[in-house]
Structure 1
Amino acid sequence: MSSYTKSFKVPFWAQILAGLVLGVLLGWLARSQDLSWLTTTLEKVGDTFIGLLKLAVAPLVFFAILVSITNLRKVNNAARLASRTLLWFMVTSLIAVSIGLVIGLLTNPGAGTGLTPKDGAKPDETGSWIDFLTGIVPTDVITPFTELNVLQIVFMAAVAGIAALQLGERAQPILNLSESVLELLQKALWWVIRLAPLGTVGLIGNAIATYGWDLIGKYATFTADIYIGCLIVLFGVYPALLATVAKANPIQFFKGAWPAIQLAFVSRSSVGTMPLTQKVTERLGVPKEYASFAVPFGATTKMDGCAAIYPAIAAIFVAQIFDIQLGVGDYLLIAFVSVVGSAATAGLTGATVMLTLTLSTLGLPMEGVGLLLAIDPILDMIRTATNVAGQALIPVLVSARENLLDREAYASADGSSLDEPRDAEREQVPAAA
């Protein structure tokens, strides 16, 4: 029976793709026939899926960061690996923001839109460097979890992890408990991830039913710029780095990482995708001890789509709408904010905080954010997919450079078999699934 079921199992990426196609069809049907009940159903299905993903975000981030920091003690040259990881985060972010600036300057995304400053509105929440720096440190240990302030959760987890390293053997009972809780959370979230095809139907269907193609008209150039910029990074920059730096086959990377990239596209959450991102990264031959550090770290700070390409093009767009001239110094500031401030996005859906941080640094009107909120869900899909691809890419690059990459595992990585248990004890899939 099991062999029969296995032979007819549909690959995870194909399930996501089928959900994407069905969602588009149902969304088009709901919009064209004005079926409000279908639109509401699609919205509820999508919101439920995202709600389930977010349910585990706060504890998942805390225990993932804590355990990942303490796991570094099992890796030779841990400090070197951590510094190389951060360096490559910054290098790829700089490349991504440069591409965004070039595209924005060549296409003038704010010209000819028909939008005016009156169409904008200040967002309820804005970001500034003071808010960013002071907001890292929580005032209590409960609020960051109840308000889902991922940056503060990361701070507390990092402090706890470093303290555990300092305590040594005395902290081992806490570490054992933390590892068990992390495995429990990852297992529960993995079951949610298995619902991704159904969630895809709701999320994509609701986006089509709610926005259709009418909204994209005014933002055609801007939308195209974001997608083109992300695609250049995703299928141009990343493969080039794999081929030149890691001496690895780029096609094999996408073959292994594709399920995580797909899930990121529909869920629009780097943190929600994190267990799957870590799984595909390990399947690509990255040592588990290093992957358990690099992926959670990347899921909260590595945002080439949301924190580099998007704010660069968006800043140019807003400046053109408000008829403000940007100079070379402004473009350098955009690059600086993108490289240094990407942690402000903290792996959550949307990049409004990062955009407001960029606009405030440049002195651009915050009303510009209101111009982009309506189109944001459509843009956030490709941005998050780019983010997650980068979060899987950097551990592969660093592992290859440090001669830690399992080349045989990399060559045999196959995302279509992701549902197959890798370890019967740790990866057992429920019979009902």
Structure 2
Amino acid sequence: MSSSPSDSSSAPAASASDTPARRHLLPGWARGFGAQVIYGLIVGLIFGFIARSLEPENWLSAILDWVGSTYVQLLKVMVPALVFAAVVTSVAKLREVTNAAKLALSTIWWFMITAFFSVLAGILVGVVMKPGLGAGVSADSAAEPSTVGSWMGFVNSIVPGNILGLSAKATDAGSISLSFNVLQILVVSLALGTAAVKAGKAAEPFLSFTESFLKVVQVVLWWIIRLAPIGTGALIGNAVATYGWEALGSLGKFVLAIYIGLAIVLLIVYPVILALHGLSPVGFYRRVWPVTSLGFITRSSMGVMPVTQRVSEQTLGVPSSYASFAIPLGATTKMDGCASVYPAVAALFVAQFFGVDLSPVDYLLIIVVSVIGSAATAGTTGAVVMLTLTLSTLGLPLAGAGLLLAIEPIIDMGRTATNVTGQALVAAVVSRRAGILDQDVWDRGERVDTALAQRS
């Protein structure tokens, strides 16, 4: 069957008129990247409840676990390269920013300020709710965790063992497991970036290569990030299938206390700080939603770091030269959820559970450890490490940390979401205070989805 000339000429016209109608069946906000992540979460929840209704070891749970863990692994695989290239490049670019040293100190200062108010929120919730009193958890489950935090551990972990920040250890299966210490990579990168600046013209080829390498890494990471709707759906589905409501059990009061503390930080502390600097809290959270949601699902500040930096630059108006310094630093040392709210509530839980009365000095120690403890645990990572550091400083039983291990994945989701949101917030606030925030980007109110959809 052949088409007449009139048919062939009319077809494009019909297609052209139909395309806009199809393209606008949904509003803009419902078609973008953030909406796709939400759709993925909904589908993941449905699959999770279906898997939960099946036998303990079923094909659907196995698929959700594999897809979710693979996505997180992909997010992390390029992180060492990203940190190295971003930090070296940013150190070089900081020469273009007025008062670079002052900017760096201001960043650390605001890390501490937000950590201070976050730990106060944790203490307030722990004192009011008393999650350790009447807890149904058995004392038999108390056991010291395998990893314990210490101040000497921080000193040892910050000194690079090699230029790659690479460490290896033997597993129980007899194989060798390789891992990167991101804090050590950060230290090495800062040193090399500073040395390159001092070397002057001779280091220009190195800096040009590093900047070009950074662009390539960002493109690859963006390919991975675009898989977020699938990855987040699998992760939330696996969480539901694995833990369900039963995991809360007798520790439900503690979980509630943690999330109330995190909510105070996210809905009161952060909005107040933003408002005091003339930044709309609603606008901030609308822009930073992909960061918060991915942090909640992936439970990895480092895995979300590429998204945090991209959102900070393209929707919050943080200059690239500063964002590439502040965001990697924040991803390793800025943890309001893991290092402030959680250890405060958990330490009060342990004290109440074992009947130990805390003095005003003990509360002061909780604040001090939380404010400076994020960096102290960055080399070994993990909120459990931070908790044991707090417990040992207060003289509380380290075995108390074992009481909380059962619900660790559940509360880690909220903690990480708070961590990454705070990292973006500090970058925006410091930029605003230094007068380097791109007000045009902020005022345009570009949707996060539009900015993220742009190719690198």
TM-score normalised over the length of structure 2: 0.87
1:88 Cα offset (Å): 0.8
* Structure 1 residue 23, shift from structure 2 partner: 1.5
> How large is the Cα RMSD of the aligned pairs?
2.1
Amino acid at match of 1:382: G
| Residue 318 (1) aligns with residue 339 (2) | no
Aligned to 1:99: 121
Counterpart CA distance in 2 for 1:270 and 1:285 is 21
The answer to whether residue 372 in structure 2 is matched with residue 351 in structure 1 is no
> Does the C-alpha gap of structure 1 residues 416 and 139 become closer, same or farther in structure 2, counting only changes over 3 Å?
closer
| Cα distance in 2, alignment partners of residues 357 and 400 from structure 1 | 34
- Cα deviations across residues 217-265 of structure 1 (Å, max 9, x unaligned)? 2111111111111111112111111111x21211111111111111111
Match of 2:35 among 6, 11, 14: 14
Residues of 2 paired with 1:286 and 1:68: CA distance?
Answer: 13
The residue number in structure 2 matching 1:222 is 254
Q: Which amino acid aligns with 1:19?
A: G
Q: State whether residues 131 and 253 of structure 2, in contact with CA within 8 Å, keep that contact through their aligned partners in structure 1.
A: yes
The whole-number CA distance in structure 2 between the counterparts of 1:211 and 1:205 is 10
Q: How many positions carry a matched residue from both structures? A: 422
| Pairs within 5 Å for 1:125-140 | 125-140=147-162
Residue aligned with 1:405, SS? coil
Residue number in structure 2 paired with 1:292? 324
Aligned AA for 2:32?
P
Out of 102, 123, 126, the residue aligned to residue 80 of structure 1 is 102
Tell me, yes or no, if the aligned pair for 1:349 and 1:380 is still in contact at 8 Å: no
Contact between 2:151 and 2:376, CA under 8 Å: does it hold in 1? no
The equivalent of 1:415 in structure 2 is 448
Once the two structures are TM-superposed, the CA of residue 368 in structure 1 deviates from its matched residue by 2.0
Task: Tell me what 1:255 maps to.
Answer: 286
Equivalence for 1:186: 218
Preserved CA contact (<8 Å) 1:116 1:322: no
Does residue 382 (structure 1) correspond to residue 414 (structure 2)? The answer is yes
Q: Which amino acid aligns with 1:198?
A: I
Q: Measure the CA separation in 1 of the matches of 2:357 and 2:84.
A: 43
Q: What is the CA-CA distance between 1:33 and the residue it aligns to?
A: 2.8
- Conserved? CA contact 2:295–2:301, under 8 Å: yes
Q: Which moved more, 1:396-405 or 1:338-347?
A: 338-347
- Tell whether 2:333 aligns with 1:301: yes
| Residues 1:115 and 2:137 are matched in the alignment | yes
Extract unaligned runs of 5+ from structure 1: 422-426, 429-433
Q: 1:366 aligns with which of 398, 404, 416?
A: 398
Percent identical among aligned pairs is 49
> CA separation of 1:335/1:285 partners in 2, compared to 1, >3 Å: closer, same or farther?
same
For 2:64, the equivalent position in structure 1 comes to: 42
**Structure 2 runs not aligned, ≥5 long:** 1-14, 168-177
Distance verdict in 2 for CA 1:90–1:373, change over 3 Å: same
Whole-Å separation in 2 of the counterparts to 1:153 and 1:128: 21
Distance in 1 (alpha carbons) for counterparts of 2:335 and 2:51: 33
Cα 1:348–1:277 change in 2 (3 A) is: farther
Q: Which has the larger radius of gyration?
A: 2
Structure 1 runs of 4+ with >4 Å offset? 1-9, 347-350
1:87 CA displacement: 0.8
The alpha-carbon deviation at position 347 of structure 1 amounts to 9.3
> Which amino acid letter does the alignment assign opposite residue 405 of structure 1?
L
